[in-house]
Amino acid sequence: MATNQPTRSLVTGGAGFLGSHLCDSLIASGHQVICLDNLFTGHLDNIAHLRANPAFTFIKHDVVEPFDFDVDQVWNLACPAAPGHYRYDPVKTLRTSVWGVMHCLEIGRRRGARVFHASTSEVYGDPTVHPQPESYRGNVNPIGPRACYDEGKRAAETLCFDYRRMHGTDIKVVRIFNTYGPRMHPYDGRVVSNFVCQALRGEPMTIYGDGTQSRAFCYVDDLIAGFRKLMDSRDGFTGPVNMGNPGEFTMLELAQAVAAELGEKDMIEHRPLPADDPTQRQPDITLAKKELGWEPKVPLREGLRRTIAWFRALDMSKYAPPSPFFEQPEAQRK
Ligand code: NAD
Ligand code: UDP
């Protein structure tokens, strides 16, 4: 259902980093929200401020198991997103991607709900085309350590489009590029959270490889604004549509930016590059601009400032790494 009207929305993965910001945005616009999460990488603190709101319901549930709710909109975000998290149990990651989206699409098929699916730039793998437009079909190693995530997300996209072809299901698919901000899990091993936490502890920032690999970093508020525009986009516009900030930085440049924000000299330490680590990544957002009138607004330094302030105030004792392999590049695993 297309809508700017208040809806009943289901958000899977709603206690996670992006999901909790999405719940905030929906609640602020007067929507009713059911947040479904198994709390694998999400945290109740992310939604603590919403729990007393009668428009908000939290249900602890694993999306691998069936679920059904009478809603108008389904937002499928449940899936570990950081390499250290999705590699913890790769088989579970694949099941989460595939079964999670199937259960969402079934709600779409049975109830006519519009289904938004959070896909990823990882569907492009280690891209040979730069920047990456949606038409690029990718360069994924189907048997490598990242494949559980990349191929799981590719299969999930396939399911979205097959449900549309077979059942006319109303789908919206976004390919998200590296996004950062408050409520990232401090132990998720992603580069922004790692650098910020390390720098705040006065430790060297860990650069994997020589640090010349690039990523483009989008601040969370910009991304959530794009999500809302996509969900409310015209009937028939399905995506996939790239969302991310086209500003491209090497990991060395990111370390310098974090150090500069903290007013310190950048201390770095090199570690081995994980297997299949993409060399270069940058979104082509022409389609999002044209179709949705969307583009990110928050520059990297401003986003880092807000993120650093959040991590500085965080009670780290409430968080633990979910994986014994956490932060260990593949090469060092026993
Ligand atoms: P996150 O790990 O903070 O959020 C994922 C949420 O899903 C967590 O709350 C987690 O507990 C929940 N979850 C995981 N497995 C589940 C399961 N089996 N059942 C129920 N809940 C489950 O990560 P995020 O960055 O907020 O990512 C959200 C979505 O966006 C993911 O689907 C991810 O693949 C996608 N994405 C994120 C980025 C990014 O840069 N943040 C980039 C590309 C795609
Ligand atoms: N990276 C790094 N140091 C870290 C964590 C990550 O140099 O402490 C690198 C990683 O090898 C990759 C880039 O930063 O090249 C982005 O990694 P992240 O895990 O944040 O996202 P993804 O690889 O999924 O884009």
Mean pLDDT of 91-116: 98
Name the band, by pLDDT with cuts 50, 70 and 90, for residue 292: very high
The residue nearest atom 41 of ligand 1, judged by CA position, is: 179
Minimum CA distance residue for ligand 1 atom 21:
37
Q: How many whole angstroms separate alpha carbon 329 and alpha carbon 327? A: 6
Mean residue pLDDT of the chain comes to 93
Domain ranges of the chain: 8-179+218-243, 181-216+247-281+298-333
Phi, psi of 187 (to 5 degrees): -110, 25
* Angle at CA of residue 157, ends 151 and 159, nearest 5°: 105
How far is Cα 300 from Cα 277, in angstroms, rounded to an integer? 22
Q: Relative to the alpha carbon of 274, which ligand is closest?
A: 2
Instruction: Give the neighbor-by-neighbor strand order of the sheet with 8-12.
Output: 56-60, 32-37, 8-12, 73-76, 114-120, 171-176, 241-243
Residue 149 among the catalytic residues: yes
Pocket lining: 33 vs ligand 1, CB cutoff 6 Å? no
* Residue 177 contacts residue 244 (beta carbons within 8 Å): yes
- Give CA–CA dist 170/113, Å, rounded: 7
User: For 168-185, what is the mean pLDDT?
Assistant: 97
pLDDT band at 84 (very low <50, low <70, confident <90, very high): confident
Average pLDDT over residues 171-191: 95
For the domain made up of 181-216+247-281+298-333, the CATH class stated in words is alpha beta
Is the Cβ atom of 14 under 6 angstroms away from ligand 1? no
Distance CA 168, CA 165 (A): 6
Homologous superfamily (CATH) for 8-179+218-243: NAD(P)-binding Rossmann-like Domain (3.40.50.720)
Enter the pTM of the model. 0.95
pLDDT of 326 > 50? The answer is no
Helix (H, G, I), strand (E, B) or coil at 334: coil
Q: So what's the pLDDT on residue 304?
A: 98
Structure letter (DSSP) for residue 223: H
* Full DSSP string of 134-172: TT---B--TTSTTHHHHHHHHHHHHHHHHHHHHH---EE
Does the CB atom of residue 19 touch ligand 1 within 6 A?
A: yes
Q: Which ligand is nearest to the CA of 85?
A: 1
Q: State the average pLDDT over residues 32-45.
A: 96
CA dihedral 88, 94, 98, 104 (to 10 degrees): 0
278 vs 241 pLDDT, higher one = 241
User: Tell me, what's the pLDDT at 331?
Assistant: 41
> Does the N-terminal peptide bond of residue 240 adopt cis geometry, omega within 30 degrees of 0?
yes
Q: Residue 120: nearest ligand to its CA?
A: 1
Residue 320: pLDDT band (50, 70, 90) is: confident
Q: What is the mean pLDDT of residues 47-71?
A: 97
Q: How much of the chain exceeds pLDDT 70, in percent?
A: 95
Determine the atom of ligand 2 nearest the C-alpha atom of 274: 11
Give residue 240's pLDDT band: very low, low, confident or very high (50, 70, 90): very high
Q: Which residues contact 221 (CB under 8 A, 6 or more apart)?
A: 21, 181, 298
**Ligand 2 interacting residues, C-beta cut-off 6 A:** 82-83, 178, 190-191, 194, 206-208, 213, 215, 251, 274, 277
pLDDT, greater one: 40 or 327: 40
Q: Can you tell me which atom of ligand 1 is nearest the CA of 122? A: 43
8 with 70: CB under 8 angstroms?
Answer: yes
Given 88, 124, 149, 219, which residue is catalytic?
149
